[in-house]
Structure 1
Amino acid sequence: MSARRGWRRAPVAVAAGVALLTALLGGAVTDVGPWYQALKQPAWKPPDFLFGPAWTLIYTLTAWAAVRCWDAAPDAAARRAVLRDFGLNAGLNLAWSVIFFGLRRPDWALVEVVLLWLSVAWLVGRSRRVPGCTLMLLPYLLWVAFAGALNAAIVFPGA
């Protein structure tokens, strides 16, 4: 295999690895046991078994978008910006799970989900010049908005 082909595959491996690591760490801190079940949750919350497939699709599309943005970056500085932006987003994604489930602080998670949504909106905006990336990231943006509404309904039941 040529060095050029190996370099070309590196972004795919990195994006897949970060997506997998984010999913595994997020899953490890997610406890839907007695504490979570005792929360007053809205009637419109989807069944718990749907969250895994939804996040799997979102992580896959986000990793794909990251690779497309990396490939479209005109220079090393732009590629570093792609790494920074998608890396920050992965950190915020994981932080929400740690805050909500690990620390059991839905109120703090409600503040953090705004930052997460803004980071996804930033990714959507920064990728608009890369064909197809906006469409790949749109489910993530909508899902985080939905998760934020669900988080708010838990923090402010009956509001």
Structure 2
Amino acid sequence: MTTFIPSLTLPAAVFANPAASVLLPIALGTAVGFSCRPKETQKTYMALKQPPFRPPPQVFGPAWTLLYGLMGFAAYRAYSTGLAPTASLESHLLTKQGATLYTIQLGLNLVWMPLFFVAKRPIEATVDILALSGVVGYLAYVWGQVDPVAGWALAPYLGWLGFATYLTIGVGHLNGWNLQDKEVDFPPSSKPKSTKYVDEK
């Protein structure tokens, strides 16, 4: 059972401020996305053999922005509720434990894209997203005991992670767990109305 670890936890000021709590994961996720060169990432994504129900690449940006926002809201809500003067000692402990779990999951979340699209290591990316899903599931349980709204605010994120895990494993399997040299010569935006992948006719 994870406990509160100050060295592995974001500063309290981040959780206590609603704007900082919501905007930090959005800003970090956006920064990682741009650092992975979006055009190159889309070219790789379009070149991969994909499992059924894979969305077009344009879906991921808006989806993750919403999920990062909900994640930040859950963090603020749990922290402000669990550390309120009238809250019990157990709520205080669970809130701080959740703050450490939250920080760990955010790190696991941010490392997935570089692992998958830059390093092109689908096995490591799969291990990462499985660990991420486990941590988020536990975090939802912990913070849900502090404040049910905070727990439920993580439900869409957890659901999306289940779908993303399916995509990660599916892509890894269909491409022989080797993504090296997987890239098309054009980004999706250069072919309007086209969302075909290399495995489609």
Larger Rg: 2
2:16·2:80 contact (CA, 8 Å) conserved in 1? no
1:25·1:94 contact (CA, 8 Å) conserved in 2? no
For the aligned residue pairs, the C-alpha RMSD in angstroms reads 2.4
Give 1:140's match in structure 2, choosing from 138, 157, 167: 157
Match of 1:122 in 2: 138
Residues of 1 paired with 2:44 and 2:62: CA distance?
23
Identity fraction in percent: 30
1:11·1:70 contact (CA, 8 Å) conserved in 2? no
Match of 1:4 in 2: none
The answer to whether residue 74 in structure 2 is matched with residue 68 in structure 1 is no
1:144 aligned partner, one-letter code: L
2:23·2:69 contact (CA, 8 Å) conserved in 1? no
Match of 1:98 in 2: 114
2:22·2:72 contact (CA, 8 Å) conserved in 1? yes
Q: Which segment drifts farther, 55-64 or 23-32?
A: 23-32
The answer to whether residue 20 in structure 2 is matched with residue 11 in structure 1 is no
Residues of 2 paired with 1:25 and 1:102: CA distance?
14
Question: TM-score, normalized by length of structure 1?
Answer: 0.83
1:127 aligned partner, one-letter code: W
Residues of 2 paired with 1:10 and 1:131: CA distance?
18
Q: Which segment drifts farther, 118-127 or 15-24?
A: 15-24
Secondary structure of the residue aligned to 1:32 is helix
Higher relative contact order (CA 8 A, sep 6+): 2
2:98·2:143 contact (CA, 8 Å) conserved in 1? no
2:52 aligned partner, one-letter code: A
2:144·2:152 contact (CA, 8 Å) conserved in 1? no
Match of 1:131 in 2: 148
Give 2:125's match in structure 1, choosing from 106, 109, 129: 109
Residues 105-142 of structure 1, C-alpha deviations (whole Å, 9 max, x = no match):
12210111101101110111111120312221111001
Give 1:55's match in structure 2, choosing from 60, 64, 70: 64
Match of 2:172 in 1: 155
Question: TM-score, normalized by length of structure 2?
Answer: 0.67
Measure how far apart 1:153 and its partner are.
0.6
Match of 2:49 in 1: 40
Aligned length: 152
The runs of 5 or more residues in structure 1 that have no matched partner are 1-6
Measure how far apart 1:25 and its partner are.
2.6
Measure how far apart 1:10 and its partner are.
4.3
Q: Which segment drifts farther, 45-54 or 27-36?
A: 27-36
Secondary structure of the residue aligned to 1:42 is coil
Residues of 1 paired with 2:16 and 2:79: CA distance?
11
Q: Which has the higher helix share?
A: 1
